[in-house]
Amino acid sequence: MTSRWQIEETVHPTQGDQSLRALLERSWLLPHRFVHYLRVREHVLLNGRYQPMNTAVTVGDRIDLFFDGDEFRTAESSYRPDPRVIPPVVFENRDLLVINKPAGLKAHPNQAGEGGTVLNGVAAYLQDQPQAAAYMVHRLDQATSGAMIVAKNPVVVPILDRQLSAGDLHRTYLALVAGHFAQPRGHFTWPIGRDPQDKRKRQVNGLKAQPAWTDYRVVGESGGQSLVELDLKTGRTHQLRVHLAFSGHPIVGDPLYNPQPAPRMMLHAATQRLRLPFSNQFQQIEVAPPTTFPANLVNL
C-alpha cells in the first residue's frame, strides 16, 4: 500500500489492552475524521493486516497508518525553501523538530512567496528528507528568541494542537524587565483584548478581552532590572508583554510596550516541554539565552 504519508508505530507500554479505535483517538490523539478515513479506506494495518476498530491491541503490536492528504485541513506545506535562514536545530525526530529561533527573524511568511522566515529556513533544512516538510504549530514574536516547535508532517499537527489546548505543550520564558518586584513569585490574571487605538497592540481589558494567566518567578536583580522566569497558563497574543507592561515591569527593548533604546527585546523561550506524538513520552528541550542577556543574572 502506498500513500502520500505513512506512519509506522508500535503499541507502547501503557497503551495496550484497549481497542484499536481507543489507541488511535485517546492515546494517540488522532482526530475523529482521521480515524474515519483510516477505517473506511482500510488504511490502518495491525501487524500487517486490516482489522476492525474494536480489535484489541497489545504492547508491541505494529501499527501502520496511511494518509492520502484529503484527511488534512492543510495537506501541503507551501513555504518557499530559503537556505539563508536555516535556524539551529536543537531536537529532532521523525515527526517534529525544535529550533532555536534567533531574535529578529519572523516566524512565518505573511504573504505567498515571501522568504526570510523561520518556516522558510526549516523548509530548506527538510528538503532532502522524504515525506517531511515544515508545518506551523505555534509562533514566537519576531523580536523573541528561543525554542519553537515545527511539525514535519500534517499528521502530527492536530496532535500537537490538542496538546497545546490541554496544557501538555508547555513553554517557559526568560525576560529582562524594568524595576524591582515586591514579591519574588506571583501571577498575573488580567484579561487581554485588542487595543482600540492601535491594531498592532493588545491591552488589559481591551476589546473582546479573554482570560489570561501568567506565572512569574524572579531569578535575579541588578541595576534596576530584574530577570524573571515566566510560565504561560493561557496563550493570548502578546500575553507576556502586556502583563509585564501593565504590572509596571515592561520587557527591556519591547518596541510596542516599552519603546526605550535597547539592542533587542529581551524575551527568550528557554524551555519547551511536550509529549512526543505516539509514544506520549515527555520531552524537555532547553535552549540557553543568547549573550545579549546579562551573564551575572542568567548564571545565578
Is a pLDDT exceeding 80 seen at residue 3? no
Is a pLDDT exceeding 90 seen at residue 185? yes
Q: Which of 61, 82, 95, 141 is catalytic?
A: 141
Q: Which CATH number fits domain 172-269: 3.30.70.20, 3.30.2350.10, 3.60.60.10, 3.40.30.10?
A: 3.30.2350.10
> What percentage of the chain has pLDDT greater than the value 70?
99
Tell me which fold the domain 75-166 belongs to.
Answer: Pseudouridine synthase (3.30.2350)
Q: What is the pTM of this model?
A: 0.92
* pLDDT mean over 161-177: 91
Q: How confident is the model at residue 300 (pLDDT cuts 50, 70, 90)?
A: low
The mean pLDDT of the chain is 94
Is 231 known to be catalytic?
no
In tens, the pLDDT along 130-156 reads 889 999 999 899 999 999 999 999 999
In tens, the pLDDT along 196-253 reads 999 999 999 999 999 999 999 999 999 899 999 999 988 899 999 999 999 999 999 9
Instruction: Please name the CATH architecture into which domain 5-67 falls.
Output: Roll (3.10)
Residues 6+ apart with CB under 8 A from 32: 25
Question: What residue spans in the chain does CATH classification 3.30.2350.10 cover?
Answer: 75-166, 172-269
Q: How confident is the model at residue 1 (pLDDT cuts 50, 70, 90)?
A: low
* pLDDT mean over 40-45: 97
Question: What residue spans in the chain does CATH classification 3.10.290.10 cover?
Answer: 5-67
